[in-house]
């Protein structure tokens, strides 16, 4: 080895040893869907890093992507995450089995962002005709609650249908191939397959379920690092306002993160209210979901929604 | 006879207290053996509950035996668990029957025919290492999400142990018997029926027992294919709802059912193989 090489190795080693102590980390568990678009906007525009740097420089953001809420619960249980973005249902389930979290804000709400869909050529006209049919949903997701409410409107229960447990992404293809008759799904599946004229919406959350999704954080993180929590919520609110003002640009920015083409995504944005502030009707929605889950036996221990929600952090840092 | 008894048990009355206590003594010996058998599982359960009581393990990561027992009871009382067990058992037996039939026929064929062995060896060695889970995408494409796909996965898993052990059993026929049969000019069909096959029977029974075990293991993999009932489905369903206690109930049920089936096969083995073939410790 030449003297130059040895020297450069030595310099590199010295620099490595002289670098500052290991930076703080903040670990986010996300899902690649339009419901969480603001966090991706904040990521792409570097607003999250900006707001965190105001609190303390050198905080590193670690991103993980999950296919649905239940795997996020697993990751929280293993102590691997600080923040999570998921539906009210899996968040409640996680809290009830002992994952110590707090809801610090809403990611979005949107009654039109979740729906019970059927094939475009299907003869089914209303919920009553779902009796005896094969209906798919991701169990433990907030779409399961919508399905229950839609069935209830048609005078049916889960025992009147053949429930098939499928991941969100597989439900529309299964309807198209004829293996199942209907399914309860959330965006981007609805817009993507509606655009292809393969499916149509039987009933969405309008009048039934507001489709509230939440930002959870470990109770420990909220207690020890409230400033960083507020910083994240501030970045989120900033991104939410940006999406409202510039849907086209925002769609271009996060099309890859949310797995939907920009023009469709811009349309889908209209279905969501991205304001992270938790309003009283949102509290009511979450409480209603908690009661439903307990009634059907999914929640074994009740969750005290009031103490679980921390509405103060986002009110101070949020958009309104 | 009484003289012999007296010589063995020493002087004293002919129907002494030793003879009267003999049945009690064998009962005590059996109890001691039973206790020895159960000692390790019992100790593990007590340790498990103890760690939970001391607060050293979080219930979501590993619920205590008390919670698992309660969930077990609830599921059994509501009839859910017996239903799931029955559904899975049916799938396992169907898959195993197919695997055993094909494995035995092909195994005997390959064991007896050198040319068949050479023709099929490479194909079998290439397919054997592929785990049943890797077959799931193809199974769904070919069979859809109904029963056929699940039975296919189970049969695939159970097939190779049966095949391999059958071939091995036939290969292991002692060459001295082969020589003897040649000298005595025994016909090939008699030789196969009366020497090769009975000699291969211990290996074949091992293959069947392992195959049945693998079939049970594959049930969880098979029920990943859009199942709505079954013990594997129970585990996956509980996982989505973060109900670790139900996951454990499912796992324990599979273990118990596997043990039960093994006991039945061992009993069958006892009936068929009346000669001693193995070493079983001191």
Chain B hits for A94, CB-CB cut-off 8 Å, are 242
Total count of residues recorded for chain B: 282
As a whole number of Å, the end-to-end CA separation of chain B is: 31
**Which of A270, A191, A246 lies closest to A41, judged by CA?**
A246
Whether the per-residue pLDDT at B188 is higher than 50: the answer is: yes
Q: What is the mean pLDDT of chain B?
A: 86
**Which of A19, A23, A1 lies closest to A11, judged by CA?**
A19
Give residue-wise pLDDT tens across range A174-198.
899 888 999 999 988 899 899 899 9
Contact B6, B18 (CB under 8 A): no
The predicted model gives A200-221 an average pLDDT of 92
The predicted model gives B5-11 an average pLDDT of 51
Q: What is the mean pLDDT of chain A?
A: 88
Residue B35 is predicted with a pLDDT of 83
Give residue-wise pLDDT tens across range A99-141.
999 999 999 999 999 999 999 988 888 889 999 999 999 888 8
Indicate the angle between helix axes B244-272 and B65-77, nearest 10 degrees. 70
What residue in A sits closest to B240 (Cα-Cα)? Answer: A70
Give residue-wise pLDDT tens across range B256-271.
998 899 899 888 888 8
Give the residue from A97, A101, A137, A175 with the most B CB atoms within 10 Å of its CB, the best one to mutate: A97
Higher pLDDT, A64 or B2: A64
- pLDDT confidence band for A320 (50 / 70 / 90): very low
Distance in Å, alpha carbon of B282 to nearest chain A alpha carbon = 45
Whether the per-residue pLDDT at B72 is higher than 50: the answer is: yes
Chain B hits for A139, CB-CB cut-off 8 Å, are 237, 240-241
Residue A119 is predicted with a pLDDT of 92
Cα separation, B248 vs B62, in Å, equals 9
Cα separation, B195 vs B199, in Å, equals 6
Give bridge partners of residue A135 from the DSSP assignment. Answer: A163, A182
Contact B161, B187 (CB under 8 A): no
Residue A22 is predicted with a pLDDT of 38
Give the closest of A70, A165, A174 to B242, CB-based: A70
Give the closest of A74, A94, A98 to B58, CB-based: A98
Whether the per-residue pLDDT at A19 is higher than 50: the answer is: no
Tell me if chain B has a CB within 8 Å of the CB of A139: yes
- Compute the 3-state secondary structure of chain B and give helix, strand, coil in percent, each to the nearest 5: 80, 0, 20
Chain B hits for A293, CB-CB cut-off 8 Å, are none
Longest CA pairwise span in chain A (Å): 83
Give residue-wise pLDDT tens across range A46-83.
999 999 999 988 899 999 999 888 899 999 999 999 99
Q: Exposure string (b/e) for A199-222, b if CB count within 10 Å is 16 or more?
A: bbebbbbeebbbbbbbbbbbeebb
Domains of chain A: 3-110+211-316 (3.40.190.10), 111-204 (3.40.190.10)
Whether the per-residue pLDDT at B160 is higher than 80: the answer is: yes
Whether the per-residue pLDDT at A200 is higher than 80: the answer is: yes
Total count of residues recorded for chain A: 320
**Highest averaged pLDDT of the listed ranges A12-21, A151-160, B138-147, B186-195:** A151-160
DSSP A103: E
Burial of A164 (0-12, 13-18, 19+ CB in 10 A): buried
The predicted model gives B56-82 an average pLDDT of 89
Residue A31 is predicted with a pLDDT of 93
User: Please, where are the H alpha helices in chain A?
Assistant: 3-18, 37-44, 47-55, 69-77, 88-96, 142-153, 168-176, 189-195, 219-224, 226-245, 247-258, 262-269, 280-295, 305-308, 312-317
Chain A hits for B144, CB-CB cut-off 8 Å, are 179
Give bridge partners of residue A162 from the DSSP assignment. Answer: A134
Q: Is the ipTM of this complex over 0.90?
A: no
Cα separation, A187 vs A206, in Å, equals 15
Contacts of A101 (CB under 8 A, 6+ apart): A76, A84, A91, A94, A95, A216, A217, A218, A219, A308
Cα separation, A127 vs A120, in Å, equals 16
Residue A20 is predicted with a pLDDT of 32
As a whole number of Å, the end-to-end CA separation of chain A is: 63
Q: Which of A102-116, B13-27, B105-119, B214-228 has the lowest mean pLDDT?
A: B13-27
Give bridge partners of residue A217 from the DSSP assignment. Answer: A83, A102
A114-119/A134-137 β-pairing: unpaired
Element holding B22 (H helix, E strand): helix B17-53
Contacts of A313 (CB under 8 A, 6+ apart): A104, A105, A222, A226, A229, A230, A233
Cα separation, A158 vs A145, in Å, equals 11
Whether the per-residue pLDDT at A30 is higher than 90: the answer is: yes
The position carrying tokens 């309003």 is: A279
- pLDDT confidence band for A319 (50 / 70 / 90): very low
CATH fold of B65-272: MetI-like fold (1.10.3720)
Tell me if chain B has a CB within 8 Å of the CB of A220: no
Residue B177 is predicted with a pLDDT of 83
Chain B hits for A135, CB-CB cut-off 8 Å, are none
Cα separation, B52 vs A224, in Å, equals 27
| Tokens found for residue B27 | 């009962």
> CB distance A70–B241 less than 8 Å?
yes
Contact B40, B47 (CB under 8 A): no
How many CA atoms, within 13 angstroms, populate the side-chain half-sphere of residue B138? Answer: 9
Sign of the CA dihedral running B178, B179, B180, B182: positive
Whether the per-residue pLDDT at B224 is higher than 80: the answer is: no
The position carrying tokens 């809290």 is: A95
Residue B22 is predicted with a pLDDT of 75
| Tokens found for residue A267 | 């349309």
**Which of A187, A137, A166 lies closest to A32, judged by CA?**
A187
DSSP B102: H
The predicted model gives B159-171 an average pLDDT of 94
- pLDDT above 70 covers a percentage of chain B that reads 92
- pLDDT confidence band for A17 (50 / 70 / 90): very low
Tell me if chain B has a CB within 8 Å of the CB of A133: no
**Which of B72, B125, B124, B132 lies closest to B102, judged by CA?**
B124
| Tokens found for residue A313 | 């952090």
Contact A91, A69 (CB under 8 A): yes
**Which of A314, A223, A308 lies closest to A277, judged by CA?**
A314
**Model pTM score:** 0.76
Give residue-wise pLDDT tens across range B232-244.
889 988 888 888 9
Distance in Å, alpha carbon of B166 to nearest chain A alpha carbon = 39
Tell me if chain B has a CB within 8 Å of the CB of A91: no
Contacts of B192 (CB under 8 A, 6+ apart): B112
Residue A16 is predicted with a pLDDT of 46
Tell me if chain B has a CB within 8 Å of the CB of A67: no
Backbone angles phi, psi at B7, to 5 degrees: -65, -40
The position carrying tokens 């049930």 is: B219
Cα separation, B78 vs B246, in Å, equals 14
Cα separation, B28 vs A180, in Å, equals 60
- pLDDT confidence band for B21 (50 / 70 / 90): confident
Contacts of B79 (CB under 8 A, 6+ apart): none
Q: Is the peptide bond before A188 cis (omega within 30 degrees of 0)?
A: yes
Give the closest of A70, A164, A298 to B228, CB-based: A164
Residue extents of the structural domains in chain B: 2-53, 65-272
Tell me if chain B has a CB within 8 Å of the CB of A169: no
């Amino acid at each position: 080895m030449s003297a130059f090489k040895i020297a450069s190795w030595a310099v590199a080693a010295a620099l490595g040893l002289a670098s500052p102590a290991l930076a703080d980390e903040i670990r986010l568990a996300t899902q690649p869907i339009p419901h969480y678009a603001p966090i991706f906007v904040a990521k792409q525009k570097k607003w999250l890093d900006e707001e965190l740097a105001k609190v303390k420089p050198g905080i590193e953001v670690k991103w993980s992507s999950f296919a649905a809420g239940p795997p996020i619960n697993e990751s929280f249980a293993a102590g691997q995450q600080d923040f999570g973005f998921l539906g009210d249902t899996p968040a409640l389930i996680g809290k009830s089995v002992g994952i110590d979290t707090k809801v610090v804000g809403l990611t979005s709400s949107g009654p039109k962002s979740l729906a019970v869909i059927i094939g475009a050529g299907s003869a089914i006209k209303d919920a009553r005709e779902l009796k005896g049919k094969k209906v798919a949903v991701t169990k433990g997701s907030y779409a399961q609650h919508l399905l229950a409410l839609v069935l209830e409107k048609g005078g049916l229960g889960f025992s009147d249908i053949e429930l098939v447990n499928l991941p969100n992404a597989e439900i529309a293809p299964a309807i198209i191939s004829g293996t199942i008759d209907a399914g309860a799904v959330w965006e981007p599946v609805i817009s993507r397959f509606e655009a292809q004229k393969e499916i149509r919406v039987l009933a969405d959350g309008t009048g039934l379920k507001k489709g509230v999704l939440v930002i959870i954080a470990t109770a420990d993180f909220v207690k020890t690092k409230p400033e960083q929590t507020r910083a994240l919520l501030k970045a989120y609110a900033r991104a939410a306002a940006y999406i409202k003002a510039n849907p086209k640009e925002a769609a271009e920015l996060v099309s890859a993160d949310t797995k939907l083409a920009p023009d469709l995504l811009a349309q889908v944005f209209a279905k969501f209210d991205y304001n992270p502030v938790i309003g009283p009707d949102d509290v009511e929605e979450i409480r209603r979901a908690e009661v439903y889950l307990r009634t059907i036996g999914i929640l074994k221990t009740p969750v005290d929604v009031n103490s679980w929600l921390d509405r103060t952090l986002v009110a101070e840092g949020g958009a309104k | 006879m009484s003289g012999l008894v007296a010589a063995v048990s020493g002087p004293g009355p002919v129907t002494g207290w030793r003879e009267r206590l003999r049945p009690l003594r064998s009962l005590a010996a059996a109890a001691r053996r039973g206790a020895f058998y159960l000692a390790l599982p019992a100790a593990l359960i007590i340790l498990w509950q103890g760690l939970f009581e001391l607060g050293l393990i979080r219930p979501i990561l590993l619920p205590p035996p008390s919670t698992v027992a309660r969930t077990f009871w609830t599921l059994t009382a509501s009839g859910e668990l017996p239903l799931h067990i029955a559904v899975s058992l049916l799938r396992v037996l169907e898959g195993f029957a197919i695997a055993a039939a094909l494995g035995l026929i092909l195994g005997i064929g390959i064991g007896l025919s050198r040319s068949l062995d050479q023709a099929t060896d490479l194909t079998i060695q290439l397919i054997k290492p592929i785990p049943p889970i890797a077959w799931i995408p193809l199974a769904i494409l070919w069979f859809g999400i109904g029963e056929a796909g699940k039975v296919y996965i189970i049969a695939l898993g159970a097939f190779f142990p049966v095949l391999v052990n059958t071939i091995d059993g036939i290969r292991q026929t002692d060459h001295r018997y082969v020589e003897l049969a040649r000298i005595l000019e025994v016909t090939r069909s008699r030789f196969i029926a009366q020497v090769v096959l009975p000699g291969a029977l211990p290996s074949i029974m091992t293959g069947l027992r392992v195959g049945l075990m693998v079939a049970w293991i594959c049930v969880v993999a098979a029920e990943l294919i859009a199942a709505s009932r079954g013990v594997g489905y129970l585990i996956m369903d509980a996982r989505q709802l973060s109900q670790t206690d139900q996951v454990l109930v499912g796992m324990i049920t599979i273990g118990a059912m596997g043990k039960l089936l093994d006991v039945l096969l061992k009993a069958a083995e006892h009936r068929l193989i009346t000669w001693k073939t193995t070493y079983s410790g001191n």
